Amino acid sequence: MSIIRIRQLVFGRALRTRDSAHQTISKTVGLAVFASDSLSSVAYAGGEILLMLAILGSAQFWLAIPITVAIACLLIILTFSYRQTIFAYPSGGGAYIVSRDNFGEAAAQVAGSALLIDYILTVAVSISSGVDQLASAFPALFTYKVQIALLLILLITYVNLRGVKESGAIFAVPTYFFVAMMLLMIGVGLWKAVNGQLDIVTAVPGAEHEIVSVTGFALVFLLLRAFSSGTTALTGVEAISNGITAFKVPRSKNAANTLLWDAAILMVLFLGLGVLGYLVQAQPSEQEVLISQVARTVYGGGALTLITLMSATVILIMAANTSYAGFPRLAALQAGDGFLPKQLTFRGSRLVFSWGVIILALFASLLILLFQGSVSRLIPLYAIGVFLCFSLSQAGMAKRWRRIGALMQSGELTTDNEIETLGSVLHYDRHWQLKMLLNGFGAAVTAIVTVIFLVTKFSSGAWIIVILIPSMLWLFLRIHRHYQEVAQVLSTAGQHVTERRRPVETIVLVGDVHRETLRLVEFANGLGVPWTPVHIAVHEERVPEIKRKWAERVGIGELTIVPSPYRSLTRPLRSYIEKRLRANPDGFIQVVLGQLRTGHTVSQILHQNAHLIEQLALDDIDGVVTTVVPLHLEKFKDEIRHEAKAAAKAPVGQSVQTGEHNGKSNH
């Protein structure tokens, strides 16, 4: 079976570029693809709030309720702010495009680096939390947490390499199943609470925590830490604005409606679980998650508890798909602007940015290995970048509205015209002041949250992000400078092709005299220009024999022997080529090399493959061109067998002329 056929079976048939329009998704599938991150975050965000409050003792767990409400209010602000972003920038890109359009490239790269980091962390946190949900139902699995997490990343990577449309269809069912199970649990739990039938959770493993008396500034700091931990529930809000182009037409309208549904469902689940957690007196524990405690208290154990945990496990695993949808697109945008390698802009056979998908999987796997899949250890690294992007995006939108207002007041922008910018189009908008206030307020609030997160989580690991974002920014700028230098060198401005022909000297590199050598000679003769055969005398004792065979079997030109007293192939070759270039400084030298191709990777390793070393040795010499002439072994097998049979039938003393190969070739 051919490699192409195997690839089609594994990843699906290749799609034409014009098929990209048919790979867009509906609002229903879009909610599953882009909102699974934010929806699933209710599975761990509430538990992280309780972990921060554990130091105060269970009597103070009621503080989780106002913290949850404050986060819900922040969600409302972000939702309406990002609706404006979606309509203002219908080509997508989120904070990256908004920052670039309003603050310039430096701000855009800060946003880009922060978002890329958080996309990677989203995969690591979601997968790790998903395994936690599973292990809460089957405690024996805690021992194999890292291995299970890595296998899940491999699975979700494979699904995404098959394409956005297919991955979205696969992930839609578990997303909506999780929402249904959570709404059922919240509904049953609140009904029991109203009727006085809701019990209190008991026997929570790992719920023992040291209680410390905290007052004054220390108490405020602790509450802010709990708030910042809970804000991880909002990390997926921007994903829809990044992936607008994945939606069906009308894209902006569909994306905006999907964002509203995402926010509404997230708020209901987050508040509902928070209230139930308080009513059942849930305990902070890394061995039994919040959903598990609430579910077994509401249902009294049994099948519904297990099904609820399984739905949470699956949605958390699927939540990683938000990053798989966003990371490759953002990386492609940055690569298109010249701040990341251009390979990230290439779509694979299934019209996905395959390199972005693979790189995301590798870095997320590395994080899980380094932090052993601990959600509590990963959380401090999380959300700083996202809230930094929230702030940049909202501040950029506020500046955009102010710009529109100034243009309207000066008369440059009217109802009859529009002004194009780098990433969007400015339209007349009589509500620009209200929109500017909304985005400005959103920018101020998210900036405050960013500072809170940075200060409260700094010693717990947030310092890593403080170092990583500037480091990535430096790397992006270096890559951009390289591409600018390359573009300057390759520019044809002021350049033209001279009519003078630059002389080309052709050299045929001869390792031995056999069938492969005859192939080289045939190629050189076909060029219709003079050429010089050259042999590097790595083995001096073989030179007379090689010269004899050259005279007898080729008989064209005189074989030039280049001494190699230290048995090196590359140093004498370089010296000889450089000498010929000095004699012909305005010309080119074409070096013709031979290669024996066996047709199989394993058998190819058995040969020296000297052409690779020879090409590498000449690679940095300006004016040198290497040409590899392959000899495909498979093609000549039948001919070799025929010659062998003829030799066996020939009378004694009569030889059959064959291509000689004594096994001492450099190839």
CA 504 to chain centroid, in Å, comes to 44
50 and 87 part of one domain? yes
Q: Looking at the domain assignment, is residue 1 inside a domain?
A: no
Instruction: Give the C-alpha distances (Å, rounded to integers) separating 152 from 148, 528, 646.
Output: 6, 59, 60
Q: Looking at the domain assignment, is residue 573 inside a domain?
A: yes
Q: Tell me the three state secondary structure of residue 563.
A: strand
317 and 447 part of one domain? yes
Q: Looking at the domain assignment, is residue 498 inside a domain?
A: no
Q: What is the pLDDT of residues 410-419, one digit of tens each?
A: 888 888 888 8
Task: Please report the pLDDT score of residue 21 as a whole number.
Answer: 45
Q: Looking at the domain assignment, is residue 13 inside a domain?
A: no
Among the three residues 420, 455, 486, which one is the final residue of a domain in this structure?
Answer: 486
Instruction: Give the C-alpha distances (Å, rounded to integers) separating 337 from 80, 116, 340, 345, 664.
Output: 29, 15, 8, 10, 51
438 and 581 part of one domain? no
457 and 564 part of one domain? no
Q: What is the pLDDT of residues 246-291, one digit of tens each?
A: 788 888 888 888 889 988 998 898 889 888 888 888 887 767 778 8
Nearest to 559 by CA among 581, 539, 574, 537: 537
479 and 601 part of one domain? no
Q: What is the pLDDT of residues 397-410, one digit of tens each?
A: 999 999 999 999 88
* In contact, 331 and 356? CB cutoff 8 Å: yes
Q: Looking at the domain assignment, is residue 49 inside a domain?
A: yes
330 and 365 part of one domain? yes
User: What are the DSSP E strand ranges found in 235-316?
Assistant: none
Q: What is the pLDDT of residues 618-642, one digit of tens each?
A: 888 888 999 988 887 777 666 666 7
Q: What is the pLDDT of residues 117-157, one digit of tens each?
A: 888 988 888 888 888 878 877 888 878 888 998 999 998 88
467 and 515 part of one domain? no
Task: Please report the pLDDT score of residue 607 as a whole number.
Answer: 66
Mean pLDDT of the chain: 81
Does an H or E element contain 505, and which? strand 504-509
CA 99/CA 105 separation, integer angstroms: 8
Lowest mean pLDDT, pick from 203-207, 357-361, 579-583: 203-207
DSSP 528-558: TS-EEEEEEESSGGGHHHHHHHHHHHT-SS-
515 and 458 part of one domain? no
Task: Please report the pLDDT score of residue 365 as a whole number.
Answer: 93
What is the count of structural domains for the chain? 2
Among the three residues 486, 518, 548, which one is the final residue of a domain in this structure?
Answer: 486
CA 56/CA 474 separation, integer angstroms: 42
Q: Retrieve residue 90's tokens.
A: 């219908």
Q: Name the residue with tokens 């409606």.
A: 257
Averaged pLDDT, 524-539: 90
Q: Looking at the domain assignment, is residue 468 inside a domain?
A: yes
CATH code for position 355: 1.20.1740.10
Among the three residues 455, 486, 517, which one is the final residue of a domain in this structure?
Answer: 486
Cβ-based neighbours of 361, under 8 Å, separated by 6 or more:
123, 153, 154, 156, 157
Structural domain of residue 572, as residue ranges?
Answer: 506-649
Task: Please report the pLDDT score of residue 333 as a whole number.
Answer: 84
Task: Please report the pLDDT score of residue 210 as a whole number.
Answer: 59
90 and 152 part of one domain? yes
215 and 349 part of one domain? yes
CA 103/CA 196 separation, integer angstroms: 56
360 and 227 part of one domain? yes
Q: Looking at the domain assignment, is residue 656 inside a domain?
A: no
Averaged pLDDT, 534-549: 90
**Confidence label for 349 from pLDDT (cuts 50, 70 and 90):** low
CATH code for position 535: 3.40.50
Length of the chain: 667
131 and 264 part of one domain? yes
Q: Looking at the domain assignment, is residue 108 inside a domain?
A: yes
Cβ-based neighbours of 581, under 8 Å, separated by 6 or more:
587, 589, 621, 623, 624
